[in-house]
Structure 1
């Protein structure tokens, strides 16, 4: 999967699409604000987006040795991940 789509359950089409350069393995909403998501990818990074402006990520977290297969917000400003 090379893009992330956001859906509204009352619509048939996605309301938002983020084009990614690598396969996405997981996506999590920030529970403190539904405007922010983190996407773990096969390129060994976590891409952090503000859904109000998806032209580029707010931040790309690097340093993982393998594909990021799970991300979780611990608090509004902290992430945990699993990579394999």
Structure 2
């Protein structure tokens, strides 16, 4: 499989997974608070990404990890804030 096709397949897989998270979030909101979903989703994503890219990136220190964690939490937090305001 050439690199272009591989890129398209991985992009479609990412879109599929991202799309299912919206559906699952709507279902989970009936039983869990947005903050519980936020932390579970963030933790699962952290583990999955760590396993996928562990050998590809060299360690550059805690500062970079902290910045990336803050950026990730802000994005997810803003999304769930919007959801909680939409469905009180």
TM range (shorter): under 0.3
Name the structure where strand makes up a greater proportion of residues: 1
Which structure is larger by alpha-carbon Rg, 1 or 2?
2
Structure possessing the higher relative contact order (Cα contacts under 8 Å, 6 or more residues apart) = 2
Name the structure where helix makes up a greater proportion of residues: 2
Calculate the TM-score normalised by the size of structure 1: 0.17
Calculate the TM-score normalised by the size of structure 2: 0.17
